Chain A
Amino acid sequence: MHTAYRESIHELIDGTIGNIRRAELERHLADCTDCRAWLADMEAIRDTAGSLDPLEPPDGVWLQIAGRLRQEGRVALPPARQPARVRHVALLAIAASLLLAVGAAIVMLLPQYRTNNAGPRAAAVGTPAPQPGNPGGDVAVESVEAEFRLAEQHYQNAIAKLEQAVKLDQAASGQNGNTLDAQTAAMLQKNLQVIDQAIAESRSGLRSDPLSAAALASLFDALRSKVALLQDTIALMNEMRKGNSAGAAQIVDGLNKS
Chain B
Amino acid sequence: MALVERCRQGDLGAFEELYRAHAGKLFSVACRMLGNTADAEDLLQEIFLSAHRKLDGFRGEAALGTWLYRLATNHCLDYLRSRAARTDQLTDVLDDEPGYFTAGSPGLAEQTVTKMDLERALARLPEGCRAAFVLHDVQGLEHREVAQALGIAEGTSKSQVHKARHRLRALLSERH
> A interface vs B, CB < 8 Å?
3, 6-7, 10, 14, 16, 37-38, 40-42, 44-46, 48-58, 60-62, 64-66, 68-70, 74-76, 78, 245-246, 250
Contact = CB atoms under 8 A, between A and B. Distances in A.
Interface stretch (B60-68, B69-77, B79-87, B165-173): B165-173
Nearest to A11: B158
A45 B49 contact: no
A160 to B, nearest CB: 34
5 contacts: A6-B162, A16-B143, A45-B168, A45-B169, A57-B41
Interface string B31-72: 110000100110011001100110000000000000000000
Nearest to A34: B107
Nearest to B134: A49
Interface in B117-176: 118-119, 133, 137-138, 140, 143, 158, 161-162, 165, 168-169, 172
A54 B22 CA distance: 12
Contacts of B107: 37-38, 41
Contacts of B112: 44
Nearest to B111: A44
B16 A66 contact: yes
Contact of A68 (B37, B44, B49, B138): B49
Given A37-B109, A52-B138, A55-B31, A65 B19 contact: yes
A74 B27 contact: no
Contacts of A52: 28, 32, 115, 118-119, 138
Contacts of B52: 69, 74
Given A37-B109, A49-B133, A53-B115, A69 B12 contact: yes
Contact of B16 (A50, A54, A245): A245
A56 B118 contact: no
Of B12, B23, B25, B109, the most chain A CB neighbours within 10 A belong to: B12
A45 B113 contact: yes
Contacts of B23: 56-57, 61-62
Nearest 3 A/B pairs, CB to CB: A49-B137, A75-B12, A76-B10
